[in-house]
Chains A and B, each alone.
Chain A
Amino acid sequence: MKARVPREFRHSAIAVVVATLLLLPMPLVVSSFGLHVLTIAFYYVILAASWNLLAGYTGQFSLAHHAFAAVGAYTSGLLGHHWGVPFWIGIPAGVALSGALGWGLGRLVLRMRAIYLAIATWAFAETVHIYLTADYQFTRGELGLSVKPLYGSVDPLPYYFTFLALTAVVLLFIRGLIDSPLGYFMRAIKDDELRAKSLGIDTTKVKVAVFSISSAIAGLAGGFYGHYIVLLSPQMIDFSEMAKIVVMVVIGGFGTFLGPIVGAAPVQVILTWLQKYGEWNLAVFALVVIVLMRFSMEGIAAVFAPWWRRLWAGRA
Protein backbone atom coordinates (compact mmCIF):
# COMPACT_ATOMS: atom_id res chain seq x y z
CA MET A 1 0.00 0.00 0.00
CA LYS A 2 1.32 3.45 -0.93
CA ALA A 3 2.12 5.63 2.07
CA ARG A 4 -0.44 8.42 2.22
CA VAL A 5 0.92 11.94 2.47
CA PRO A 6 -1.71 14.20 4.04
CA ARG A 7 -3.17 16.79 1.66
CA GLU A 8 -2.37 19.67 4.04
CA PHE A 9 1.28 18.64 4.20
CA ARG A 10 1.55 18.42 0.41
CA HIS A 11 -0.02 21.84 -0.11
CA SER A 12 2.06 23.52 2.60
CA ALA A 13 5.24 21.87 1.34
CA ILE A 14 4.61 23.20 -2.16
CA ALA A 15 3.99 26.69 -0.73
CA VAL A 16 7.16 26.60 1.41
CA VAL A 17 9.29 25.46 -1.53
CA VAL A 18 7.78 28.10 -3.87
CA ALA A 19 8.29 30.85 -1.26
CA THR A 20 11.88 29.74 -0.71
CA LEU A 21 12.59 29.81 -4.44
CA LEU A 22 11.02 33.28 -4.73
CA LEU A 23 13.23 34.54 -1.89
CA LEU A 24 16.43 33.13 -3.40
CA PRO A 25 17.14 36.07 -5.77
CA MET A 26 16.50 38.62 -2.97
CA PRO A 27 20.22 39.53 -2.62
CA LEU A 28 20.03 40.95 -6.18
CA VAL A 29 17.47 43.55 -5.15
CA VAL A 30 18.11 44.34 -1.45
CA SER A 31 21.05 46.03 0.22
CA SER A 32 23.38 44.30 2.62
CA PHE A 33 21.47 45.82 5.55
CA GLY A 34 18.20 44.60 4.05
CA LEU A 35 19.62 41.09 3.90
CA HIS A 36 20.65 41.37 7.54
CA VAL A 37 17.10 42.39 8.55
CA LEU A 38 15.64 39.49 6.59
CA THR A 39 18.12 37.03 8.11
CA ILE A 40 17.10 38.09 11.62
CA ALA A 41 13.44 37.92 10.52
CA PHE A 42 13.98 34.26 9.51
CA TYR A 43 15.39 33.60 13.00
CA TYR A 44 12.18 34.96 14.49
CA VAL A 45 10.02 32.96 12.05
CA ILE A 46 11.64 29.78 13.43
CA LEU A 47 11.13 30.90 17.04
CA ALA A 48 7.53 31.97 16.42
CA ALA A 49 6.65 28.79 14.49
CA SER A 50 8.13 26.51 17.15
CA TRP A 51 6.45 28.42 20.00
CA ASN A 52 3.17 28.22 18.06
CA LEU A 53 3.60 24.44 17.96
CA LEU A 54 3.47 24.44 21.75
CA ALA A 55 1.06 27.31 22.48
CA GLY A 56 -1.06 27.46 19.35
CA TYR A 57 -1.41 23.75 18.59
CA THR A 58 -1.12 22.16 22.03
CA GLY A 59 -2.51 24.98 24.19
CA GLN A 60 0.55 25.18 26.47
CA PHE A 61 1.40 28.84 27.00
CA SER A 62 5.12 28.78 27.81
CA LEU A 63 7.10 31.97 28.46
CA ALA A 64 10.52 30.32 28.27
CA HIS A 65 10.97 29.99 24.53
CA HIS A 66 13.52 32.82 24.24
CA ALA A 67 15.51 31.16 27.04
CA PHE A 68 15.80 27.95 25.03
CA ALA A 69 17.09 29.93 22.06
CA ALA A 70 19.70 31.42 24.41
CA VAL A 71 20.60 27.95 25.72
CA GLY A 72 21.29 26.88 22.12
CA ALA A 73 23.31 30.01 21.37
CA TYR A 74 25.34 29.97 24.59
CA THR A 75 26.04 26.22 24.47
CA SER A 76 27.74 26.48 21.10
CA GLY A 77 29.29 29.85 22.01
CA LEU A 78 30.75 28.64 25.33
CA LEU A 79 32.00 25.34 23.88
CA GLY A 80 33.81 27.31 21.18
CA HIS A 81 35.05 30.05 23.50
CA HIS A 82 36.46 27.82 26.24
CA TRP A 83 37.41 24.65 24.44
CA GLY A 84 37.61 25.57 20.78
CA VAL A 85 34.78 23.20 19.87
CA PRO A 86 33.67 23.80 16.23
CA PHE A 87 30.10 24.92 15.43
CA TRP A 88 29.18 21.62 13.80
CA ILE A 89 29.49 20.01 17.22
CA GLY A 90 28.45 23.09 19.21
CA ILE A 91 25.11 23.66 17.48
CA PRO A 92 23.92 20.02 17.77
CA ALA A 93 25.05 20.08 21.41
CA GLY A 94 22.93 23.21 21.95
CA VAL A 95 19.95 21.53 20.29
CA ALA A 96 20.38 18.46 22.50
CA LEU A 97 20.72 20.53 25.68
CA SER A 98 17.68 22.72 24.85
CA GLY A 99 15.65 19.60 24.05
CA ALA A 100 16.76 17.88 27.27
CA LEU A 101 16.08 20.98 29.39
CA GLY A 102 12.70 21.32 27.68
CA TRP A 103 11.96 17.71 28.51
CA GLY A 104 13.00 18.17 32.15
CA LEU A 105 11.14 21.45 32.60
CA GLY A 106 8.14 19.95 30.84
CA ARG A 107 8.05 17.01 33.26
CA LEU A 108 8.01 19.50 36.13
CA VAL A 109 5.53 22.10 34.93
CA LEU A 110 3.25 20.67 32.26
CA ARG A 111 0.76 19.30 34.75
CA MET A 112 0.02 22.92 35.64
CA ARG A 113 -2.66 24.88 33.92
CA ALA A 114 -2.70 28.18 32.06
CA ILE A 115 -1.38 31.01 34.22
CA TYR A 116 0.62 28.71 36.55
CA LEU A 117 2.41 27.20 33.58
CA ALA A 118 3.16 30.68 32.22
CA ILE A 119 4.59 31.82 35.58
CA ALA A 120 6.65 28.66 36.10
CA THR A 121 8.21 28.85 32.62
CA TRP A 122 8.87 32.55 33.04
CA ALA A 123 10.64 31.77 36.33
CA PHE A 124 12.82 29.26 34.47
CA ALA A 125 13.70 31.88 31.84
CA GLU A 126 14.61 34.41 34.53
CA THR A 127 16.79 31.80 36.25
CA VAL A 128 18.74 31.26 33.03
CA HIS A 129 18.94 35.04 32.60
CA ILE A 130 20.33 35.52 36.12
CA TYR A 131 22.79 32.67 35.71
CA LEU A 132 24.18 34.03 32.43
CA THR A 133 24.56 37.46 34.02
CA ALA A 134 25.94 36.34 37.38
CA ASP A 135 28.47 33.68 36.38
CA TYR A 136 30.32 36.20 34.24
CA GLN A 137 33.70 34.49 34.65
CA PHE A 138 32.34 31.60 32.64
CA THR A 139 29.66 33.23 30.50
CA ARG A 140 31.21 36.73 30.26
CA GLY A 141 27.85 38.11 31.48
CA GLU A 142 26.98 41.61 30.35
CA LEU A 143 30.46 42.00 28.85
CA GLY A 144 29.27 39.75 26.06
CA LEU A 145 30.49 36.40 24.84
CA SER A 146 32.21 36.57 21.49
CA VAL A 147 31.36 33.71 19.16
CA LYS A 148 33.17 32.71 15.99
CA PRO A 149 31.22 33.54 12.83
CA LEU A 150 29.98 30.59 10.83
CA TYR A 151 31.66 31.64 7.57
CA GLY A 152 34.74 33.52 8.76
CA SER A 153 33.12 36.96 8.25
CA VAL A 154 29.80 38.59 9.11
CA ASP A 155 28.83 39.55 5.56
CA PRO A 156 25.06 38.75 5.61
CA LEU A 157 24.92 37.08 2.17
CA PRO A 158 25.84 33.48 3.09
CA TYR A 159 23.90 33.77 6.36
CA TYR A 160 20.83 34.90 4.44
CA PHE A 161 20.88 31.65 2.43
CA THR A 162 21.66 29.58 5.52
CA PHE A 163 18.73 31.00 7.50
CA LEU A 164 16.42 30.78 4.48
CA ALA A 165 17.22 27.07 4.09
CA LEU A 166 17.02 26.47 7.85
CA THR A 167 13.62 28.19 8.03
CA ALA A 168 12.28 26.13 5.11
CA VAL A 169 13.49 22.85 6.67
CA VAL A 170 12.09 23.73 10.12
CA LEU A 171 8.74 24.77 8.65
CA LEU A 172 8.46 21.52 6.68
CA PHE A 173 9.35 19.57 9.82
CA ILE A 174 6.71 21.44 11.85
CA ARG A 175 4.08 20.87 9.14
CA GLY A 176 4.94 17.17 9.10
CA LEU A 177 4.59 17.05 12.87
CA ILE A 178 1.19 18.76 12.83
CA ASP A 179 -0.11 16.17 10.36
CA SER A 180 1.48 13.22 12.17
CA PRO A 181 -0.18 11.16 14.93
CA LEU A 182 1.58 13.36 17.50
CA GLY A 183 -0.04 16.32 15.74
CA TYR A 184 -3.60 15.14 16.20
CA PHE A 185 -2.94 14.15 19.79
CA MET A 186 -1.63 17.70 20.31
CA ARG A 187 -4.66 19.29 18.73
CA ALA A 188 -6.98 17.01 20.70
CA ILE A 189 -5.33 18.19 23.94
CA LYS A 190 -5.73 21.81 22.88
CA ASP A 191 -9.40 21.23 22.02
CA ASP A 192 -10.17 19.65 25.40
CA GLU A 193 -7.56 18.12 27.63
CA LEU A 194 -9.98 16.33 29.95
CA ARG A 195 -11.70 14.76 26.95
CA ALA A 196 -8.33 13.63 25.60
CA LYS A 197 -7.56 12.10 28.99
CA SER A 198 -10.86 10.28 29.00
CA LEU A 199 -9.80 8.68 25.71
CA GLY A 200 -6.85 7.25 27.57
CA ILE A 201 -4.30 9.60 26.00
CA ASP A 202 -1.30 10.16 28.25
CA THR A 203 -1.59 13.92 27.84
CA THR A 204 1.47 14.73 29.95
CA LYS A 205 3.61 12.50 27.73
CA VAL A 206 2.37 14.28 24.58
CA LYS A 207 2.86 17.75 26.08
CA VAL A 208 6.36 16.92 27.33
CA ALA A 209 7.29 15.58 23.88
CA VAL A 210 6.05 18.75 22.16
CA PHE A 211 7.76 20.95 24.75
CA SER A 212 11.04 19.15 24.20
CA ILE A 213 10.77 19.34 20.40
CA SER A 214 9.83 23.02 20.33
CA SER A 215 12.65 23.83 22.80
CA ALA A 216 15.14 21.93 20.65
CA ILE A 217 14.03 23.92 17.58
CA ALA A 218 14.49 27.17 19.54
CA GLY A 219 17.96 25.92 20.52
CA LEU A 220 18.74 25.22 16.87
CA ALA A 221 17.70 28.72 15.80
CA GLY A 222 19.65 30.20 18.73
CA GLY A 223 22.75 28.21 17.81
CA PHE A 224 22.87 29.56 14.27
CA TYR A 225 21.90 33.04 15.46
CA GLY A 226 24.88 33.13 17.85
CA HIS A 227 27.31 32.25 15.07
CA TYR A 228 25.88 35.10 12.99
CA ILE A 229 25.62 37.99 15.46
CA VAL A 230 28.94 36.84 17.05
CA LEU A 231 28.41 38.65 20.36
CA LEU A 232 25.99 37.09 22.85
CA SER A 233 24.60 38.84 25.88
CA PRO A 234 21.95 37.90 28.48
CA GLN A 235 19.74 40.46 26.70
CA MET A 236 18.66 37.46 24.61
CA ILE A 237 16.50 36.45 27.60
CA ASP A 238 14.99 39.86 28.17
CA PHE A 239 11.23 39.47 28.61
CA SER A 240 10.66 41.78 25.65
CA GLU A 241 12.11 39.02 23.44
CA MET A 242 9.43 36.59 24.60
CA ALA A 243 6.75 39.26 24.26
CA LYS A 244 7.91 39.82 20.69
CA ILE A 245 7.50 36.11 19.86
CA VAL A 246 3.97 36.11 21.36
CA VAL A 247 3.01 39.27 19.45
CA MET A 248 4.38 37.81 16.20
CA VAL A 249 2.28 34.66 16.55
CA VAL A 250 -0.87 36.49 17.65
CA ILE A 251 -0.62 39.05 14.84
CA GLY A 252 0.06 36.31 12.30
CA GLY A 253 -2.61 33.90 13.52
CA PHE A 254 -2.44 31.82 16.69
CA GLY A 255 -2.66 28.07 16.09
CA THR A 256 -2.32 28.27 12.31
CA PHE A 257 0.62 27.08 10.24
CA LEU A 258 0.82 30.29 8.23
CA GLY A 259 0.41 32.61 11.24
CA PRO A 260 3.97 32.71 12.64
CA ILE A 261 5.42 33.07 9.12
CA VAL A 262 3.29 36.03 8.09
CA GLY A 263 3.49 37.47 11.62
CA ALA A 264 7.18 37.22 12.48
CA ALA A 265 8.76 38.55 9.31
CA PRO A 266 6.72 41.81 9.02
CA VAL A 267 6.92 42.49 12.77
CA GLN A 268 10.71 42.19 12.74
CA VAL A 269 11.00 44.38 9.64
CA ILE A 270 8.64 47.03 11.15
CA LEU A 271 10.48 46.96 14.50
CA THR A 272 13.82 47.48 12.78
CA TRP A 273 12.41 50.33 10.71
CA LEU A 274 10.90 51.94 13.84
CA GLN A 275 14.25 51.94 15.61
CA LYS A 276 15.00 55.33 14.10
CA TYR A 277 12.25 56.77 16.31
CA GLY A 278 14.22 55.78 19.41
CA GLU A 279 12.10 55.27 22.50
CA TRP A 280 8.95 55.97 20.53
CA ASN A 281 9.32 52.82 18.49
CA LEU A 282 7.40 50.63 20.95
CA ALA A 283 4.55 53.14 21.20
CA VAL A 284 4.25 53.24 17.41
CA PHE A 285 4.51 49.45 17.30
CA ALA A 286 1.70 49.12 19.87
CA LEU A 287 -0.45 51.34 17.68
CA VAL A 288 0.25 49.15 14.64
CA VAL A 289 -0.71 46.04 16.68
CA ILE A 290 -3.96 47.64 17.87
CA VAL A 291 -4.94 48.68 14.34
CA LEU A 292 -4.12 45.21 12.95
CA MET A 293 -6.08 43.41 15.67
CA ARG A 294 -9.00 45.80 15.17
CA PHE A 295 -9.31 44.60 11.58
CA SER A 296 -8.68 40.91 12.13
CA MET A 297 -8.78 39.29 15.55
CA GLU A 298 -7.71 36.01 14.01
CA GLY A 299 -4.55 37.52 12.62
CA ILE A 300 -3.13 38.08 9.17
CA ALA A 301 -3.40 34.35 8.31
CA ALA A 302 -7.22 34.64 8.42
CA VAL A 303 -7.05 37.15 5.57
CA PHE A 304 -5.20 34.59 3.43
CA ALA A 305 -7.34 31.62 4.48
CA PRO A 306 -10.21 31.95 1.92
CA TRP A 307 -7.73 32.60 -0.88
CA TRP A 308 -5.69 29.56 0.22
CA ARG A 309 -8.81 27.34 0.25
CA ARG A 310 -9.85 28.56 -3.21
CA LEU A 311 -6.36 27.85 -4.52
CA TRP A 312 -6.58 24.17 -3.61
CA ALA A 313 -10.34 23.67 -4.02
CA GLY A 314 -11.10 20.58 -6.05
CA ARG A 315 -7.47 19.41 -6.07
CA ALA A 316 -6.36 16.22 -4.42
Chain B
Amino acid sequence: MTIKKNDKQKILIVDDEPDITTALKMYLELQGFHVDTFTDPANALAHFKAGFYQLLILDIKMPEMNGFELYTEIKKKDKTVKVFFLTALSDMHDYAFKKEVFPKEGERYFIAKPIENKEILKRINTVIANTN
Protein backbone atom coordinates (compact mmCIF):
# COMPACT_ATOMS: atom_id res chain seq x y z
CA MET B 1 0.00 0.00 0.00
CA THR B 2 1.51 3.21 -1.05
CA ILE B 3 1.37 5.83 1.49
CA LYS B 4 1.31 9.27 0.12
CA LYS B 5 3.63 11.55 1.89
CA ASN B 6 0.94 14.15 2.11
CA ASP B 7 -1.30 11.87 4.13
CA LYS B 8 1.20 11.21 6.82
CA GLN B 9 0.87 12.95 10.16
CA LYS B 10 3.90 15.11 10.72
CA ILE B 11 5.71 15.29 13.99
CA LEU B 12 8.47 17.66 15.05
CA ILE B 13 10.73 16.40 17.83
CA VAL B 14 13.17 18.72 19.61
CA ASP B 15 15.50 17.33 22.30
CA ASP B 16 19.11 18.20 23.09
CA GLU B 17 19.96 14.47 23.38
CA PRO B 18 20.64 13.22 19.83
CA ASP B 19 20.19 9.60 20.79
CA ILE B 20 16.69 10.34 21.95
CA THR B 21 15.69 12.13 18.78
CA THR B 22 17.33 9.49 16.62
CA ALA B 23 15.65 6.63 18.45
CA LEU B 24 12.22 8.21 18.52
CA LYS B 25 12.51 9.19 14.88
CA MET B 26 13.42 5.67 13.90
CA TYR B 27 10.53 4.17 15.78
CA LEU B 28 7.84 6.62 14.83
CA GLU B 29 8.76 6.52 11.17
CA LEU B 30 8.30 2.79 11.28
CA GLN B 31 4.84 3.52 12.64
CA GLY B 32 4.07 5.60 9.57
CA PHE B 33 4.68 9.13 10.82
CA HIS B 34 6.75 11.74 9.16
CA VAL B 35 9.31 12.86 11.74
CA ASP B 36 11.65 15.83 11.74
CA THR B 37 14.16 16.22 14.52
CA PHE B 38 16.33 18.99 15.93
CA THR B 39 18.77 19.00 18.82
CA ASP B 40 18.95 22.77 18.95
CA PRO B 41 15.76 24.72 19.73
CA ALA B 42 16.88 27.89 18.01
CA ASN B 43 17.55 25.95 14.90
CA ALA B 44 14.21 24.22 15.17
CA LEU B 45 12.46 27.53 15.42
CA ALA B 46 14.29 28.93 12.43
CA HIS B 47 13.32 26.00 10.26
CA PHE B 48 9.79 25.72 11.53
CA LYS B 49 7.17 25.49 8.84
CA ALA B 50 3.87 26.78 9.99
CA GLY B 51 0.94 24.56 9.22
CA PHE B 52 3.21 21.69 8.30
CA TYR B 53 3.28 19.78 11.56
CA GLN B 54 0.37 18.28 13.44
CA LEU B 55 2.30 17.53 16.60
CA LEU B 56 5.29 18.82 18.50
CA ILE B 57 7.23 16.70 20.95
CA LEU B 58 9.49 19.00 22.95
CA ASP B 59 12.02 18.30 25.65
CA ILE B 60 11.65 20.79 28.48
CA LYS B 61 15.16 21.04 29.87
CA MET B 62 17.34 22.41 27.13
CA PRO B 63 20.13 24.95 27.37
CA GLU B 64 19.50 28.43 25.97
CA MET B 65 15.78 27.89 25.38
CA ASN B 66 13.54 25.54 27.28
CA GLY B 67 10.59 23.61 25.89
CA PHE B 68 7.97 26.04 27.12
CA GLU B 69 9.69 28.99 25.60
CA LEU B 70 10.08 27.19 22.31
CA TYR B 71 6.41 26.28 22.30
CA THR B 72 5.39 29.85 23.03
CA GLU B 73 7.41 31.01 20.06
CA ILE B 74 6.03 28.33 17.78
CA LYS B 75 2.50 29.16 18.87
CA LYS B 76 2.99 32.62 17.49
CA LYS B 77 3.54 31.09 14.10
CA ASP B 78 1.10 28.22 14.25
CA LYS B 79 -1.88 28.20 16.56
CA THR B 80 -3.31 24.81 15.83
CA VAL B 81 -0.32 22.52 16.22
CA LYS B 82 -0.60 20.18 19.21
CA VAL B 83 2.16 19.58 21.72
CA PHE B 84 3.61 17.11 24.16
CA PHE B 85 6.37 17.95 26.56
CA LEU B 86 8.97 15.33 27.32
CA THR B 87 10.04 15.52 30.89
CA ALA B 88 12.06 13.75 33.51
CA LEU B 89 9.45 13.89 36.25
CA SER B 90 11.31 16.35 38.43
CA ASP B 91 10.96 18.91 35.71
CA MET B 92 7.27 19.01 36.30
CA HIS B 93 7.79 20.01 39.87
CA ASP B 94 10.33 22.58 38.87
CA TYR B 95 8.24 24.27 36.31
CA ALA B 96 4.86 23.51 37.77
CA PHE B 97 1.97 24.16 35.45
CA LYS B 98 2.72 27.46 33.89
CA LYS B 99 -0.66 29.06 33.69
CA GLU B 100 0.20 31.32 30.82
CA VAL B 101 1.13 28.32 28.67
CA PHE B 102 -1.46 25.84 29.75
CA PRO B 103 -5.09 25.97 30.63
CA LYS B 104 -6.36 23.82 33.46
CA GLU B 105 -5.63 20.16 32.83
CA GLY B 106 -1.91 20.47 32.31
CA GLU B 107 -0.99 16.85 32.91
CA ARG B 108 -2.36 15.87 29.53
CA TYR B 109 0.52 17.67 27.90
CA PHE B 110 3.32 15.90 29.71
CA ILE B 111 5.07 12.73 28.69
CA ALA B 112 7.35 11.45 31.37
CA LYS B 113 10.61 10.00 30.10
CA PRO B 114 11.70 7.35 29.76
CA ILE B 115 8.60 6.09 28.02
CA GLU B 116 7.94 2.76 26.34
CA ASN B 117 7.16 2.65 22.65
CA LYS B 118 3.63 1.35 23.06
CA GLU B 119 2.89 4.05 25.52
CA ILE B 120 4.13 6.96 23.45
CA LEU B 121 2.22 5.65 20.48
CA LYS B 122 -0.97 5.54 22.49
CA ARG B 123 -0.47 9.09 23.70
CA ILE B 124 0.23 10.37 20.19
CA ASN B 125 -2.89 8.65 18.94
CA THR B 126 -5.02 10.58 21.36
CA VAL B 127 -4.24 13.69 19.42
CA ILE B 128 -3.44 12.57 15.90
CA ALA B 129 -4.13 9.37 13.99
CA ASN B 130 -1.43 7.41 12.33
CA THR B 131 -2.05 6.21 8.96
CA ASN B 132 -0.76 2.73 9.51
Q: Do A and B originate from a single complex? A: no
Residues on A lying within 8 angstroms of B by beta carbon are none
